[in-house]
Amino acid sequence: MTRGWLGALGALLGVAVLFAIPRLTGNEYLLALGISFATFSVLSGGLNLVYGYTGLLSFAQVGFFGIGGYTAALLVTERAWSLWAGAVAGGVLAALVGLVIGYSSLRLSRHSFAIVSLSFALLCMIVARDWVSLTRGAMGIPGLPVPGLDLPGWRWRLSRPADFYYLLLGFAVMAQALFYVVVSSRLGRAMRAIKLNEPLAQSHGIDPLRYKLLAIALSAWLAGIAGGFFVFYLTIVDPSIFDFYYTETMLIMVIIGGPGSFWGVLGSSAVLAALPDLLRFTTDLRMVLYGAVLIAAMLIFPGGVGGWLDRRRLRRWRRPSLTTP
Amino acid sequence: MDPGIFLQLLLNGIVIGVIYALVAMGLSLIFGVLELVNFAHGEFYMLAAMLAYFLTMRLSLGYAATVAVVTILAVCLGYVFYEALLVHIHGGGFERSILLTLGLSMVLQNGAVFLFTTTPRMIETPLSYANIVAGSVRVSVTRVLALALGLVAFAALYLILYRTRIGRAMRGVAQNREAALMVGIDPRAVSRLAVAIGIGLSGLAGAALAPVYAVHPLMGFSFVFKAFAIIILGGLGNIAGAAIMAVALGIVESVVGGFLPLVMVDALVFSSMIGMLLLRPEGLFGRGVRV
């Protein structure tokens, strides 16, 4: 019990420190890294829920992210919606698309889900580039307006990077809290059971398809909302929002952090969000490096850091104790 | 529509469809025997096309020599690919194999972009300007040669699978791995050969198509997207189904692409894949669903 309270206290402290950063330093580069971390943590957390916990390898996250971005941008510019309504609508649309893809491809197998999700992500990019009358093609939708929040007695205009830092960090904290509640509850246990042994889970009265669809829809919904916020931070949405770079980065985050390990993936998201900028590679070489890391991880290190820590803890528990009688 | 133009589009569609079939059959063969989806398949096709470009333009090798060298190298690369990487994850789960081959595809694709940039390159030899004219139909010699190579490869694959002992062993492993083990088939030798043939077909496709279209490092990426749709539509692991769907897709793409924007074709391919999974998850020419 005390361990749990200490953990909660530590998490609260971490969040407080993250929220205090813009007050301590006006360094915009640091804020940009923080925004990148917050956004990627939602994407990789969702991928971890779908792949790490439920065992479905998905390449569709980037599609949900971009659908959210495009939906929010189009609703705000064409229909004069507020960002908040637009982002939520984008999340809902992403979740619905996720349900359609998941329901149709999971009828066959996990294999076909992986293939269909990849095709879906590629199709999103093609549609964004070539359906010019809706998405304005390769030029995208530039100059997105500055969003604002009007509450009685308080008006917040998100004009500085620090405002978006607060927004995306706040959203990421809520999303991570939601992920944490899901994975540590009965739902998360059912998902893990499905990943480990689907027929056995089924024989215990778990309907695998419902839990799989729930994981896909939840991660798609959050990724869609994150996409809506993120494009307003960039002030432009164009087909590069569907870039395979996002998919590869979040996959690496989940693989290195350890699929099925909440804190592992969160930690690796923080490290890897900062790393590319520290390494200062060209994008092509960075992708070569990521690919090599992926190959090496699959050959020698499939559990990631989280898996390694788990194994170490199990070994410690199982070690015969010599000191106590 | 003018029948001449239609015939022209139809012929172009058959050529591109046969090349799609080479890539998709290799993918399907590897899936059938090893039960893994090779995400790096398109990159081998790209490497073969790039190699064909350098052999023709820099070393000025002839057409036949280029195709032969590229195909043989691709078969060898398939052996190395299996022995160096795939053998270590065998039985280690389907997701691991996808992530491994995806990592390889990232390395190959971005490495090629880094070395050669994304500039498209054209192979220009006297051969690429030669045409065969029959009535109102005009076909370039390189397309006819690509078609012929594809058909020869079809026949060779058929003979290997249905007329040789090792081919029978391959089909045996694809149908029932445990039973194949029980009658003394070595799965490692069979898998190795299946991967080598699959990559070899991809290499042949790259070498045959290099003189027809421009060559660039990102060409494999969009190609494998179509190959995935083809093997789902034709039934996962069903090689003949993949071949038929590939030719059909090539024809549809060419004829529809003649008067509709290409994005419609890609959307059509994707939605027919989703529709197929909803209506007939085992594919048009289904063969047992594997779980």
**Residue A236, helix vs strand vs coil:** strand
DSSP symbols for B100-161? HHHHHHHHHHHHHHHHH-S--B----GGGG-EEEETTEEEEHHHHHHHHHHHHHHHHHHHHH
CA quadruple B74, B80, B82, B84: dihedral sign: negative
pLDDT at position B136 = 74
Other CB atoms within a 10 A radius of the CB of residue B278 amount to: 13
| pLDDT confidence bin for B18, thresholds 50/70/90 | very high
Contacts of B89 in chain A (CB under 8 A): 298-299
Residue B252's closest CA among B230, B274, B235, B232?
A: B230
Q: Average the pLDDT over B148-166 and give the result.
A: 91
Cα–Cα dist B184/A12, whole Å: 61
Cα–Cα dist A140/A73, whole Å: 10
Q: Where are the domains of chain A?
A: 11-243
Q: What ipTM was assigned to the predicted interfaces of this complex?
A: 0.80
CA distance B188 to chain A (A): 18
- In chain B, the residue whose alpha carbon lies closest to the alpha carbon of A55 is B95
pLDDT(B209) > 80: yes
B265 and A CB contact within 8 Å = no
How do strand A141-142 and strand A236-237 relate by DSSP bridges? antiparallel
pLDDT(B66) > 80: yes
| pLDDT confidence bin for B227, thresholds 50/70/90 | confident
DSSP symbols for A107-159? TT-HHHHHHHHHHHHHHHHHHHHH-HHHH-GGG-EE-PPPPEEEETTEEEE--
Cα–Cα dist B54/B42, whole Å: 19
* CA neighbours closer than 13 Å in the CB half-sphere of residue A246: 30
Q: Give the per-residue SS3 of B183-220.
A: CCCCHHHHHHHHHHHHHHHHHHHHHHHCCCCCECCCHH
User: Nearest 10 degrees: CA dihedral of A75, A79, A83, A85?
Assistant: -80
Cα–Cα dist B20/B14, whole Å: 10
pLDDT(A99) > 90: yes
Please say whether the beta carbons of A52 and A188 come within 8 A: no
Is A120–B222 a contact, with Cβ atoms under 8 angstroms apart? no
pLDDT at position A258 = 85
Sequence length of chain A is 325
Cα–Cα dist A205/A51, whole Å: 22
Please say whether the beta carbons of A35 and A165 come within 8 A: yes
**pLDDT per residue over B169-199, tens digit each?**
988 888 888 888 888 888 888 999 999 999 9
Q: Where are the domains of chain B?
A: 3-279
B99 and A CB contact within 8 Å = yes
Rounded to 5 degrees, what angle do the CA atoms A233, A82, A230 make?
20
Q: Name the CATH architecture for the domain at B3-279.
A: Orthogonal Bundle (1.10)
Q: Average the pLDDT over A142-160 and give the result.
A: 77
B94 and A CB contact within 8 Å = yes
- In chain B, the residue whose alpha carbon lies closest to the alpha carbon of A57 is B95
| pLDDT confidence bin for B286, thresholds 50/70/90 | low
CA distance A177 to chain B (A): 27
| pLDDT confidence bin for B204, thresholds 50/70/90 | very high
Q: Show Cβ contacts of residue A249 under 8 Å, excluding neighbours closer than 6 positions.
A: A40, A272, A290
Given A104, A126, A255, which is nearest B99 (Cβ)? Answer: A255
Please say whether the beta carbons of A53 and A260 come within 8 A: yes
Cα–Cα dist A221/A236, whole Å: 21
CA distance A170 to chain B (A): 32
pLDDT(B92) > 70: no
Given B105, B114, B267, which is nearest A285 (Cβ)? Answer: B114
Given A107, A110, A127, which is nearest B281 (Cβ)? Answer: A107
φ/ψ of residue A57, rounded to 5: -75, 120
Q: What is the mean pLDDT of chain B?
A: 85
CA distance B220 to chain A (A): 13
| pLDDT confidence bin for B288, thresholds 50/70/90 | very low
Cα–Cα dist A64/A220, whole Å: 5
| pLDDT confidence bin for B290, thresholds 50/70/90 | very low
